[in-house]
A = this chain, B = another copy of it.
Amino acid sequence: MSLLTVGTVAFDSIETPRGCAERIVGGAATYISLAASHFTTPIQLVSVIGDDFPSETLDFMEKRGIDLKGLQIREGEKSFFWAGRYHDNMNARDTLDTQLNVLADFQPHLPEGYKNPDYLMLGNLTPQVQMQVIEQIEKRPKLVAMDTMNFWMDTAWDDLMQVLKKIDILIINDEEARQMSEEYSLVRAAERIRQMGPRFLIIKKGEHGALLFYEEQIFFAPALPLYEVFDPTGAGDTFAGGFMGYMAQTDDLSFENMKRAIIYGSAMASFCVEKFGIQRLTELHADAIEQRVEAFAALVNFSTHGNGARRRV
């Protein structure tokens, strides 16, 4: 099944307790499409870059089945750039620099062949741009997911609320869910956010896993305890890309299958953080993904009843 995604394609400069990387390839749509490319094809990407973006990366993305007809390349301009530094705990980070560049006046344009995607993933971008993408879609996709961030809650709340009414799944982190709902309990937060539009809500908790809320049901996917986290950049987008890629591949909208999709997304994110930037995603093979999904199953698997019969006291 086809997956359309919109989001940034960009450069990042990253400092983590494990090291530094200068101007490496990043961006939400880059991580989303690369992660999804391990599951489904075609992937249609809508974004904008300057003429400074490495052609080898674009070639590699095309080789992985990512269609770049929707990627605008602006001559004489620069790609979006973000620089940040992670704290020791890797959960918090400071933004050191943000240069919007080509993103400042980005108008997404969906080429012919992009207007009827089976699955749609709206990466974190201004809600207006997310809405512009939705408005160009001719037939409602089977599943529409979106990411957003605190900044849009502070600066574009009304637009954000409009987009929320058009989607099926919101994928955000715990801090964002608390801000959006003004509730500390994630169960209460999920209740309020789902009243704003999305039937499904995924709350990502970084190293603490992810929660899926749907009607009265809750599914919890752990994060794999890792020996070392090298660089958390892109982990959330990789999660979303793996999730939506798996959904598009299996084309099964049941809650049971959505649980599996979250485990596949978590597995992809666990690879992402092992190296700087997109590197680990570019060298990944199907066997390793399957092995990691099995590791997730082993991590949480238990049977409620053993040989020692449980007595009531």
Contacts and interface: CB of A to CB of B under 8 A. Distances in A.
Contacts of A185: 225-229
Given A304-B293, A313-B65, A225 B218 contact: yes
A226 B303 CA distance: 23
A251 B297 CA distance: 26
Interface stretch (A114-122, A129-137, A205-213): A205-213
A230 to B, nearest CB: 11
Contact of A308 (B38, B218, B249): B249
Contacts of A303: 256, 260
B313 A188 contact: no
B40 A313 contact: yes
Contacts of A89: 184
Interface in A238-266: 249-252, 254, 256-257, 259-260, 263
A313 B38 contact: yes
Contacts of A184: 88-90
A307 interface: yes
A299 interface: yes
A225 B313 contact: no
Q: Is the interface of A mostly helix, strand, loop or mixed?
A: loop
- How often does this chain occur in the complex, in copies? 2
Interface residues of A, number: 55
Contact of A306 (B220, B250, B306, B312): B250
A218 B306 contact: no
Contact of A205 (B208, B249, B307): B208
A139 interface: no
Contacts of A305: 260
Nearest to A246: B310
Contacts of A39: 313
Contact of A186 (B40, B187, B225, B297): B225
Nearest to A17: B184
Contacts of A211: 225
A285 B176 CA distance: 38
Contact of A302 (B205, B297, B308, B311): B297
